[in-house]
Amino acid sequence: MQTSAFGEKFLDDCGILQLMADLGEAASRPGAIMLGGGNPAHIPDVQALFRRRMALVLDSENDFETLIGNYSAPAGDLAFIDAVVALCRRRFGWEIGPENVALTNGSQTAFFCLFNLFGGTTRDGRKRKILLPLAPEYIGYVDAGIEDDLFVSARSRIEFLADRLFKYHVDFDALEIGDEIGAICVSRPTNPTGNVLTEEEMATLGALARAHGIPFIVDNAYGTPFPGIIYTEATPAWDPNTVMCMSLSKLGLPGARTGIVIANEEIIRALTGMNAVMSLAPGSFGAYLALDLMRSGEIVLMSNTIIRPHYQRKAERALALLRQALAGTPAYIHKPEGAFFFWLWFKDLPISAQELYRRLKERNVIIVPGHYFFPGLAEEWPHRHECIRMSYAGAPDVVEAGIEIIAEEVRRAYAS
């Protein structure tokens, strides 16, 4: 079959597709201890709330028929967009209107559009790239380019903390922003590490983007004001040069595939056009389920009083278990500041993280090896082969069993 270069990616070596297929196959095994995915927890109070909202939609005279029978606008459900605008103006004082917001079929779709809007070959033949200034970064970015070699990233600076914790920081001395950079992108909290860039780091990156005339893209899928899975102060900031990306997935609606992009009018017009070409309009299911929550501001209350405490309790419990299980090993844990992952660094690990993944998989424990999370890092860095990501969103007994097996295999690796 003859395909384009873009098509070859999906026929031959779409890394994220292969990994997700592998994780899906492994998770289907009886007794699998699934610590590798990004699925949010099924929180009973949150699910009950959405069930009540679904019942209201079904019982109304017109909502259900409109939901299943009508296209939304190409930018997304207009009532929901108005509610997003009102919430952001009220909570943060952002000077935005409906023209500054577009919905997409999940935030992954938004990043595909944004990365190829600002990266790739320009009309005059120049090649533009997306700068990821804090590696490791989100695995979902890896294969998002229509063209290859879309990303460039920089090694993080490592700060060692007490109790065998550590934290990544942007190494501004090593950061190079040349004419080939088309945008800067960070996730905050960061997937995979749970890192939260400091206010100073965010302000400096935003200023660098403005100085170079390029947008600053912020992946806020886990952050404030919703779903609020963040354990430190981190108020998001917006200006016309910032592209703020949010999502309903980690709120508890991953199946609804609802991404939210807040940007200047020119970028929103481009995203709206891409929506129209790719899918005519984004789906309305998530917007309908969350509309009343967004209008009333209850989405923030739910995030602060139900969702964040749920994950914070899980994080504290899992951190205690990890410290106990890995005591005496050269293991470090990234300080858990947000999201629902632990990033474990096994310093000078005698085997690769990929081999550790294979051994754990043989014991029905599924994690993600760290080397997938360094898109665009040209230099060799042994650190990337010494780390793994594990989710603590699952049932407590599952997480505890997984941690015990991880510790056993790590000790076995160091002893070999």
Residue 212 to residues 130, 155, 239, Cα–Cα distance (Å): 13, 21, 15
Which domains are present in the chain? 5-45+307-415 (3.90.1150.10), 61-301 (3.40.640.10)
pLDDT at 28: 72
Q: 397: Cβ–Cβ under 8 A, 6 or more apart, which residues? A: none
Please name which of 95, 406, 403 lies closest in space to residue 240, comparing C-alpha atoms: 95
Question: What's the length of the chain?
Answer: 416
State residue 121 phi and psi, 5-degree precision: -80, 130
pLDDT at 3: 60
H helices of 60-106, in order, are 63-69, 78-92
Helices (H), 98-235: 107-118, 199-211
SS3 category, 103? strand
d(CA 351, CA 16): 22
What does pTM read for this prediction? 0.94
Q: Identity (one letter) of the amino acid at 108?
A: Q
Sign, Cα dihedral of 94, 216, 170, 147: positive
Query: How far is the C-alpha of 113 from the C-alpha of 185, rounded, in Å?
Result: 13
Q: How far is CA 322 from CA 149, 160, 168, 318, in A?
A: 37, 17, 19, 6
In the prediction, which pLDDT does 38 show? 85
Per-residue pLDDT 10s for the chain (416 aa) are 666 666 666 666 555 666 677 667 766 777 889 999 888 999 999 999 999 999 999 998 888 898 899 999 999 999 999 999 999 999 999 999 999 999 999 999 999 999 999 999 999 999 999 999 999 999 999 889 999 899 999 999 999 999 999 999 999 998 999 999 999 999 999 999 999 999 999 999 999 999 999 999 999 999 999 999 999 989 999 999 999 999 999 999 999 999 999 999 999 999 999 999 999 999 999 999 999 999 999 999 999 999 999 999 999 999 999 999 999 999 999 999 999 999 999 999 999 999 999 999 999 999 999 999 999 998 899 999 999 999 999 999 999 999 999 999 999 999 98
Nearest-angstrom CA–CA distance, 316 and 152: 34
